[in-house]
Amino acid sequence: MSRSWRKAVFVKPLVALFWVVFLAAAVGLLGKTVPGSRAAIHRVAGYLRLGPVAERFLPLEEDHHGGEGHHHEEDEEHHHEESSPPAGFAKEITLSGAAQRNFQIDDSAITAVELSDYHRTFSLPGVLCERPGHTFIDVPSPVSGVVTRVCHEEGEVVCPGEPLFEILLNRQEMIQAQGEYLSSLKANEINHSEIERLSALDAGIVPQKKRELAYENQRLGVEIVNQRRTLELMGLPAARIDSDLEQRREIIQSISVLVPEIPHEGSPDPDTEQIVTMDELNVCVGQNVTVGEALCHLTNLGSLVIKGRAFEEDRDRLETALKSRYEVTAIFGGNNSREVVSGLWIRSIENRVDADSGALSCCIDLANRGDVYRAGDLSGNTDDQRRYVTWHFQKGELCELRIRYDLIPNCIVLPADAVASDVGETCVFEWVGSENDQKIWRRTPVHLLEKTKDTAVIAHDGSIFPGALVTVKGAELLLSALTARNQKAAGGGGVQHGDHVH
């Protein structure tokens, strides 16, 4: 057995073991002799996820309950520096399994502290409005006539190209213009036949007649083009002119009014089918209509606008959010059924202030979604193919807008329920260890920078370190339980180590 091998097997492990024992003894001696050192040791152990080990071999409560005078001086100094509870009051509380369930503090309610950036926000009331020029579409009558058929009911979903109405043409000018167009088509056809017949003869025969037919052919061509444009301006569809007048040589007696193509401008996904409903029906069968008369009213709620109502003093923050493209969050519903929509941005700020209310409006685009269903799916009638839609967001719905405007770097962001306040002091509760199914929670004072209904922002000043495990809810309940225990102990002669709540 070589010397180097014996050194690697025996000597190095013994040296490492010696240093481990030496460091453990030094830490234990430091915790027992230096006032206030146990709290620092426990903080480091918590950061290294060794909180239970430190609590087992070096209980924190002994550091709080020491009888020497310098302990009281240290407690008084900490009271001024950290606004911690008075000396003799417990900073830890142990929850049994039942108490944890009552407080709704389970493993999912425990999170590790992380550093992040936070944007300050300000809130504005908002209301959902239509997009001018996009939400509502009027369908005018292209011709004068009598309505012979209404193809859809109010509230039905319609698609571009589907027929909405059938209109019987009764205008004399329309019938006469079609007859003249058919006559021109027939004359042009005869002229072409005559030109082809004369072309087969000798070039020296009837040259004058050929020239006359060529001039007539040009005149008819121009006349046919002008007559076709006239028919299109009168409201006849180009496809019907091609199929009925030019191919079948029949006068068009009625036309179908179709759903127009819906522009995708402003739509979040141009490939998504536009959901359009017929919301207002203005005519009935047998009614005589004129050119341009509104037949129905179509609605497309796939894209809405949130109008935020601010005051003139908010203009600077609004302009900062607009230029920096800071994110806007919209919150719909009440406390019991809240829906948060993030990833929004301010599109524009109005350049006028309302004279009555003094409010300044900003516009934020919101993509809506609809659930289309067939009437037969509810009634059981498989022949009923009428389609309807239920929109997720409704026009006129109120919401709260939270607009970012200022950045707080390198801070700790937790849910609002993770912090608790007591006489000007704000604290969180760290999980420092467990005993069987019981968890030990330590009250840790922190510096609260900002708090909203949903979020608490804590300064990264060393009061709590990244990686520490804290509860994200039930902090107020834990603080109330700890305060009640301290008050009970103060009246009964002291606080015992490891207060339990069952």
Whichever domain contains 420, its CATH number is: 2.40.420.20
Range of the domain at 23: 3-82
The Cα 284–Cα 154 span in angstroms is: 12
Q: Dig out the tokens for 247 from the structure.
A: 């191919």
Are 236 and 311 within one domain?
Answer: no
Are 316 and 461 within one domain?
Answer: no
Are 38 and 126 within one domain?
Answer: no
Q: Strands, DSSP E only, in 79-188?
A: 92-95, 110-112, 115-129, 136-140, 145-150, 157-158, 163-169
Specify the DSSP element, H or E, that contains 341: strand 339-344
Taking each helix axis as running N to C, give the angle between helix 12-33 and helix 37-47, from 0 to 180 degrees, rounded to the nearest 10.
130
Are 325 and 393 within one domain?
Answer: yes
Judge whether 395 lies within some domain. yes
Are 310 and 457 within one domain?
Answer: no
Are 144 and 281 within one domain?
Answer: yes
Are 201 and 217 within one domain?
Answer: yes
Judge whether 113 lies within some domain. yes
Q: Dig out the tokens for 476 from the structure.
A: 């107020």
pLDDT tens, per residue, the chain with 502 residues? 455 545 555 566 676 666 666 666 666 665 556 555 555 565 556 555 555 555 555 565 444 444 444 433 444 443 334 444 555 567 888 888 888 888 888 888 899 999 999 988 889 999 999 988 888 899 999 999 999 999 999 999 998 889 999 999 988 888 999 999 999 999 988 888 887 777 766 665 567 777 788 888 889 989 999 999 999 998 899 999 999 999 999 999 999 999 988 766 555 455 556 889 998 999 999 999 999 999 999 999 988 999 999 988 888 899 999 998 999 999 998 767 789 999 999 999 988 888 888 888 999 999 998 898 887 655 566 566 789 999 999 999 999 999 988 889 999 999 999 999 887 789 999 998 887 778 889 999 999 998 888 899 999 998 998 999 999 988 999 998 888 888 887 765 444 444 555 5
Q: Which of 403, 437, 460 is the last residue of a domain?
A: 403
Cβ atoms 305, 129 nearer than 8 A: yes
Are 351 and 414 within one domain?
Answer: no
Are 288 and 338 within one domain?
Answer: no
Judge whether 269 lies within some domain. no
Are 34 and 78 within one domain?
Answer: yes
Amino acid identity, position 408 = I
Judge whether 87 lies within some domain. no
pLDDT at 17: 67
Are 284 and 164 within one domain?
Answer: yes
Specify the pTM.
Answer: 0.62
Cβ neighbours for 117, distance < 8 A, ≥ 6 positions apart: 407, 408, 409, 410, 411
Domain count across the chain = 4
pLDDT at 59: 60
pLDDT at 79: 37
Domain of 363, CATH number, reads: 2.40.30.170
Are 219 and 148 within one domain?
Answer: yes
Sign of CA dihedral 331, 129, 263, 300: positive
